Chains A and B, each alone.
Chain A
Amino acid sequence: MTKYGMVIDLHKCVGCSGCSIACKNENNVDTGMFWAHYFHETKGSFPNVNYKYVPTLCNHCEDAACVRVCPTQAMYKDENGLTLHDPDKCIGCKSCMQACPYGVINFNKNKPHRRWEETAAAIKGGTATSKELQERTGQELPYYNADRAFTYEGIRSKGIVEKCTFCDHRIKDNLRPYCVESCPADARTFGDLDDPSSDINKVLAQYSSQVLKPEKGTKPRVFYVRG
């Protein structure tokens, strides 16, 4: 049985947001939506100030609230323990967004990446336009990552939700999720929680860990250590 999870080492993490940006790149996520995000808190008063930065993403909960409330089972758990989304079944009711305690699900209110259809130029005839870039690259999004479409819609459609899939399109080929890959601090470890020798279990054995909002009963599979 495979049970994927992730652990984030907050001691190594410096809050650079590289993971969040890289995720958008890898998954063709539209402006205003975030599959990998963060929250930060500034506490105390000068000069005794504490600044905390915590990266967040879908926790691929064991008892996922989104799966529980989705009317069409568009949100589902797969055999590897991932919480995934079927873009064909989704009716866009957003019950999942209401139920998710972590706010990691995004809704496509409009067609994503519409700004790339813009035909006006800053300097007419002198600077480019978004539309020209679409034509030149033959893609809706010039830096479109086709890998994403192997297991999910490469660019999602208007009216459905979307969220992190633990880069299932990469892990199927034994590549790590892109946030894990991109982190310059090596703060993220991904792996199979059911495999006793996996890296993630080594980290979890070494440090005491926490999850976000355990009281919600969702049993998240993203753990935080050394916070």
Chain B
Amino acid sequence: MGISRRGFIKASAVTGATVAGLSANKPMLTAFSETDKKEQIAESGKWLASTCQGCTTWCPVQVYVENGRAIKVRGNPNSKGNHGKICPRPHLAIQQLYDPDRVKVPMKRTNPKKGRNEDPKFVPISWEEAIDAVTDKMMELRKSHETHKFALFRGRYTGAADIFYKALPTIFGSPNNISHSAICAEAEKLGPYVTEAFWDYRDYDLEHTRYVIMWSTDPVSSNRQVPHAISMFGKVLDQAKVAVIDPRLSATASKADEWLPVIPGQDGALVSAIAHVILKEGIWNREFVGDFKDGENLFAKGSAVDEAAFEENKTYGIVKWWNLELKDRTPEWAAEISGVPAEQIYRVARDFAEAAPRAISWLAPGSAMQIRGGYTSMGAHALNALVGSIENIGGTNRGEKVPLESIPELDSYLDEIAKKGKKHEKIDQRGRIQFPAFAKGELHKGVVTNNVADGILNEDPYDIKMAIGYWNNFVFSCTGAQRWEKAMEKIPFYVHITVNPAEMTQYADIVLPACHQLFERWGVIKSKQNMNAYGSIQQPVIEPLWDCKVDETEIGWLIAESFAKKGFSNLYDYYRNEFTDPETGKKATNEKEFNLVATKFLSKKLWDPSEEKKGDQISSWQEFVDVGVWNAKRTPYKKHWEEGFETASTKFEFYSETLKGLLDEHAKGHNTSIDKVMEAMKYEARGDLAFVPHYEEPIRYGDEKEFPLIFTEHRSRLNREGRSANTTWYQEFKDADPGDEKWDDVIKINPIDCKKYGVKSGDRVKVTSVQGSIEVTVKEWEGTRPGVAVKCYGQGHWAYGRIATMDYQKKIARGGNNNEILPSDYEHLSGSTARHGGIARIKIEKI
């Protein structure tokens, strides 16, 4: 056929013959005319570079654009990180972009009452009116010297985050820039920090590894480095052994060599037992750890060892660790607690150590984001040190620096009001005795996101009078969600910058439509995977569909402009003066220009011809836009073996002097002892035990008799951080998550328990914990341990759109939000929200 069907129909009148299907000729695949051939080559449109933020791998991608429409997405072949691969999520982004439920214009609330069952009665307004309303309220706070009662909530962000998230509150005069990090994965970063002073996600040398222990890591489904993990996994299984520690049979576990179906919250027991075996059987890596001075292994079950007998090489505190914790932690002991057979623990420990140094202990939020998960985080990471895989071939690695600029210094733009306002205690109460909340090595620097709700509700340290939130949805995404519903009712004026009308939007007074991160904005992101760090561009591959603006730059600018008109020009001055286009030397004159100028400013070192680059040699902005990604040099091995680690002892610390120092400082700041701090943080350890990885008993809410099942949750391979449930493709392919069902949100329970409670697959049940109830469908599934109930996170939306909900107008949820049954509690060292570890016990009742 030379022309398309549609073309044919349009070009000629529809004849009866065609209608009756009377054409008897077979269509010929190759019957093209010469001119037609040129017009009909597949993929003759353009592939434009951008970055996907469906999870925090942040993969460089390309978008296929034809006639101003974005049609499909693929990986950016220029990226060494994901080397042209993507996981399923970026495909869903197309449906997000063209989601009919997107907010298309700014809106204002006309129903003064706020509540889950209140209809905000939004009406469309202009950007001018919207920004005016926002700045009016903010100027009021300036006048009354209550600038600290303004909060900025950050959800998903880009490299330009600080332009909005830091500059706005700081210059305005509020200490309350609240990020979402604590509901994300901060406890995972805790382990590497207190041991090797590396507060970040790690990269893994999968290509060369021979053994991987995955601590609730499911990298073929979700965070992190998903496309690379998927791409590598076949090879990894060929060359290496994979052991997955996870309460449920995840996709990774189903393909792994070993599945250790740990009872939720008991991961710490496995850590200690594995370390015990490695030391007791003398199979640790001598090169990294060192050895007994006379070569005889004195690590014997039950006996303490003299520290002087061991000479450590790159590590510090191995004997302390043994003496304080490991000496009695046998696999037999761990088997009883964790539900994993002792012989499996022995086997995993031995195989892991045998593969050294090409052995990875891959820590993920599942094992760390638990109330007492800080030490699991530390210990799971420390296992890497035992086998010498820190910064080593086939092991756990860091990443080269991607030189994105920081925003210019703010101090000279702070007036008296701002300086005073900043000094107030933050609304998340970080720094209080139970929240040392250290991040990147600094005490009280880590956000305690979820606690903001309590701060607001209790007006402690003070009430919040106004907040702006962007790309966040705490009412849905925080445990103890009901508290956020109440807290949002309390905030008198809330502005939500969002793509869809989410749960949190329902409490907003002003709604500002955001441009979609992948398709409609300039931005720059940095990340790493496959032993390659990179800086990746985001660009508007199409004209924004609606009257939306870019959150961090355009809206920041509009607010600043509006402030200036009302007599407060500091922010506007900052934006105008400090950001210059490195190519043209010009400054921005409007918000659109500002988005571009800021992006060029921040990414300058990646493409500016005058900059020396330790990686790809890109020599112009346009080249960076075309290529889409700047690759750093491949991550080198053993960098800190020579240089020393930035810990207190310059070694890899099994006994963390680093942690001790921080806790000491924190305790002194509260005129108390570290032990008292440990108590306030709900940890069992006292004394020196607090500085080594050790087993802590999990805390569970709910009494076993009334709530017989332990609830545990996991992520979906199709979740775009909780934003994709409103796409048909998410719903249609939901059963790609092992055990789940299409168009439904099921709680997966072992058939033995189903029989016990008289339910079967397809039954509707009410799931109740001490926190609340949800109503979902049951699924009988063998991939769940008896006594445990597993449910995926991401559904249970009562807002967001008409596919994510069962009924948007009536606020009837599709499925149930796990956060309505998970109570709010923390891993207090990092301030992370504890959503794992079987924190909630539940009961199920057939409806």
Hey, which bits of chain A sit against chain B, CB under 8 A? 9, 11-12, 14-18, 20-22, 24-26, 31-32, 34, 38, 40, 42-47, 49-51, 53, 72-74, 76, 78-80, 84, 86-91, 118, 121-123, 125-130, 132-133, 136-139, 142-147, 149-154, 168-170, 172-173, 175, 181-182, 184-187
Q: Contact check, A133 vs B98: say whether CB atoms are below 8 A apart.
A: yes
Q: Which of A18, A20, A73, A126 contacts B122 (CB 8 A)?
A: A126
Type the 1/0 row for B792-804, where 1 means its CB is closer than 8 Å to any CB of A: 0000000001100
A154 vs chain B, min Cβ distance (A): 6
B506 vs chain A, min Cβ distance (A): 10
Q: Contact check, B782 vs A46: say whether CB atoms are below 8 A apart.
A: yes
Residues of A within 8 A of B786 (CB): 46
Residues of B within 8 A of A137 (CB): 68-69, 98
Complex CA gap A170/B718 in Å reads 27
Q: Contact check, B736 vs A126: say whether CB atoms are below 8 A apart.
A: no
Residues of B within 8 A of A31 (CB): 728, 732
Type the 1/0 row for B86-101, where 1 means its CB is closer than 8 Å to any CB of A: 1110011011011111
Q: Contact check, A185 vs B103: say whether CB atoms are below 8 A apart.
A: no
Complex CA gap A122/B71 in Å reads 24
Interface stretch, picked from B23-31, B322-330, B405-413, B654-662, is B23-31
Residues of A within 8 A of B4 (CB): 146, 149-150, 153-154
Type the 1/0 row for B19-37, where 1 means its CB is closer than 8 Å to any CB of A: 0010100110110000000
Residues of A within 8 A of B111 (CB): none
B824 vs chain A, min Cβ distance (A): 29
CB closest residue in chain B, given A160: B21
Interface stretch, picked from B248-256, B533-541, B664-672, is B248-256
Complex CA gap A40/B779 in Å reads 15
- Quick one: which of B304-355 are within 8 Å of A by CB? none
If A47-B259, A181-B74 touch, whether A152 touches B5 (CB-CB below 8 Å) is yes
- Check: B828 CB closer than 8 A to any chain A CB: no
CB closest residue in chain A, given B799: A122
Residues of B within 8 A of A143 (CB): 69-72, 94-95, 97-98
Residues of A within 8 A of B785 (CB): 46-47
Residues of A within 8 A of B85 (CB): 184
Residues of A within 8 A of B781 (CB): 42
Q: Which of B29, B66, B738 contacts A42 (CB 8 A)?
A: B738
Q: A14-B221, A45-B782, A172-B29 are in contact. List 20 more A-B contacts (CB 8 A).
A: A11-B238, A14-B220, A15-B254, A21-B91, A32-B732, A42-B782, A47-B261, A49-B259, A49-B783, A51-B738, A53-B736, A137-B69, A143-B72, A145-B72, A149-B4, A149-B7, A170-B42, A184-B85, A184-B87, A185-B230
Q: Contact check, A173 vs B42: say whether CB atoms are below 8 A apart.
A: yes
Q: Contact check, B101 vs A127: say whether CB atoms are below 8 A apart.
A: yes
Complex CA gap A133/B95 in Å reads 12
Residues of A within 8 A of B230 (CB): 14, 16, 184-185
B549 vs chain A, min Cβ distance (A): 15
Complex CA gap A89/B25 in Å reads 10
Residues of B within 8 A of A47 (CB): 259, 261, 785
- Check: B847 CB closer than 8 A to any chain A CB: no
Type the 1/0 row for B713-746, where 1 means its CB is closer than 8 Å to any CB of A: 0000110000000001100110110110000000
Q: Contact check, B21 vs A72: say whether CB atoms are below 8 A apart.
A: yes
Q: Contact check, B69 vs A139: say whether CB atoms are below 8 A apart.
A: yes
Q: Which of B67, B97, B101 contacts A122 (CB 8 A)?
A: B101
Complex CA gap A186/B18 in Å reads 42
Residues of B within 8 A of A185 (CB): 230-231, 233-234
Q: Contact check, A21 vs B733: say whether CB atoms are below 8 A apart.
A: yes
B542 vs chain A, min Cβ distance (A): 9
Residues of A within 8 A of B756 (CB): none
Residues of B within 8 A of A18 (CB): 86-88, 91
- Check: B680 CB closer than 8 A to any chain A CB: no
Complex CA gap A21/B717 in Å reads 12
- Check: B377 CB closer than 8 A to any chain A CB: no
Q: Contact check, A40 vs B545: say whether CB atoms are below 8 A apart.
A: no
Q: Contact check, B88 vs A42: say whether CB atoms are below 8 A apart.
A: no
CB closest residue in chain A, given B235: A12
Complex CA gap A72/B259 in Å reads 53
CB closest residue in chain A, given B89: A18
Complex CA gap A65/B107 in Å reads 57
Q: Contact check, B234 vs A187: say whether CB atoms are below 8 A apart.
A: yes
CB closest residue in chain A, given B106: A126
Residues of B within 8 A of A40 (CB): 735, 738
Q: Which of A22, A126, A129, A147 contacts B91 (CB 8 A)?
A: A22
Q: Contact check, B102 vs A25: say whether CB atoms are below 8 A apart.
A: no
B193 vs chain A, min Cβ distance (A): 31
Q: Contact check, B101 vs A128: say whether CB atoms are below 8 A apart.
A: yes
Q: Contact check, A21 vs B92: say whether CB atoms are below 8 A apart.
A: yes
Complex CA gap A172/B41 in Å reads 8
- Check: B40 CB closer than 8 A to any chain A CB: yes
Complex CA gap A88/B25 in Å reads 10
Q: Contact check, A127 vs B74: say whether CB atoms are below 8 A apart.
A: no
Q: Contact check, B100 vs A133: say whether CB atoms are below 8 A apart.
A: yes
Residues of A within 8 A of B68 (CB): 137
Residue pairs across A and B with Cβ atoms less than 8 A apart, 6 shown, are: A18-B91, A25-B94, A44-B782, A50-B254, A80-B29, A153-B4
Q: Contact check, B23 vs A88: say whether CB atoms are below 8 A apart.
A: yes
- Check: B237 CB closer than 8 A to any chain A CB: yes
B345 vs chain A, min Cβ distance (A): 14
Complex CA gap A24/B97 in Å reads 16
Residues of A within 8 A of B87 (CB): 16, 18, 184
- Check: B124 CB closer than 8 A to any chain A CB: yes
A115 vs chain B, min Cβ distance (A): 8
CB closest residue in chain A, given B505: A123
Residues of A within 8 A of B782 (CB): 42-46, 49
- Which of A16, A73, A79, A170 has the largest count of B CB atoms less than 10 A from its CB? A16
CB closest residue in chain A, given B344: A47
Q: Contact check, A46 vs B71: say whether CB atoms are below 8 A apart.
A: no
Residues of B within 8 A of A32 (CB): 732
Complex CA gap A152/B7 in Å reads 11
B38 vs chain A, min Cβ distance (A): 11
Residues of B within 8 A of A91 (CB): 21
Q: Contact check, B733 vs A20: say whether CB atoms are below 8 A apart.
A: yes
CB closest residue in chain B, given A178: B72
B106 vs chain A, min Cβ distance (A): 9
Q: Which of B66, B252, B546 contacts A128 (CB 8 A)?
A: B546
Complex CA gap A153/B7 in Å reads 10
- Check: B227 CB closer than 8 A to any chain A CB: yes
Q: Contact check, A149 vs B6: say whether CB atoms are below 8 A apart.
A: yes
Residues of B within 8 A of A126 (CB): 103-105, 107, 122-124, 501, 511
Q: Contact check, A127 vs B102: say whether CB atoms are below 8 A apart.
A: yes
Q: Which of A12, A50, A150, A182 contacts B233 (CB 8 A)?
A: A12
Q: Contact check, A89 vs B21: say whether CB atoms are below 8 A apart.
A: yes
- Check: B769 CB closer than 8 A to any chain A CB: no
B510 vs chain A, min Cβ distance (A): 12
CB closest residue in chain A, given B221: A16
Q: Contact check, B501 vs A123: say whether CB atoms are below 8 A apart.
A: yes
B101 vs chain A, min Cβ distance (A): 5
Residues of A within 8 A of B66 (CB): 146
Q: Contact check, A151 vs B1: say whether CB atoms are below 8 A apart.
A: yes
Q: Contact check, A88 vs B231: say whether CB atoms are below 8 A apart.
A: no
- Check: B784 CB closer than 8 A to any chain A CB: yes
If A22-B91, A168-B29 touch, whether A14 touches B255 (CB-CB below 8 Å) is yes
- Check: B635 CB closer than 8 A to any chain A CB: no
Residues of B within 8 A of A151 (CB): 1, 27, 29
CB closest residue in chain A, given B543: A136
CB closest residue in chain A, given B21: A89
- Check: B43 CB closer than 8 A to any chain A CB: yes
Q: Contact check, B123 vs A86: say whether CB atoms are below 8 A apart.
A: no
Complex CA gap A187/B94 in Å reads 24
B57 vs chain A, min Cβ distance (A): 12
Q: Contact check, A88 vs B18: say whether CB atoms are below 8 A apart.
A: yes
Residues of A within 8 A of B72 (CB): 22, 25-26, 143, 145
B401 vs chain A, min Cβ distance (A): 27
B675 vs chain A, min Cβ distance (A): 39
A80 vs chain B, min Cβ distance (A): 7
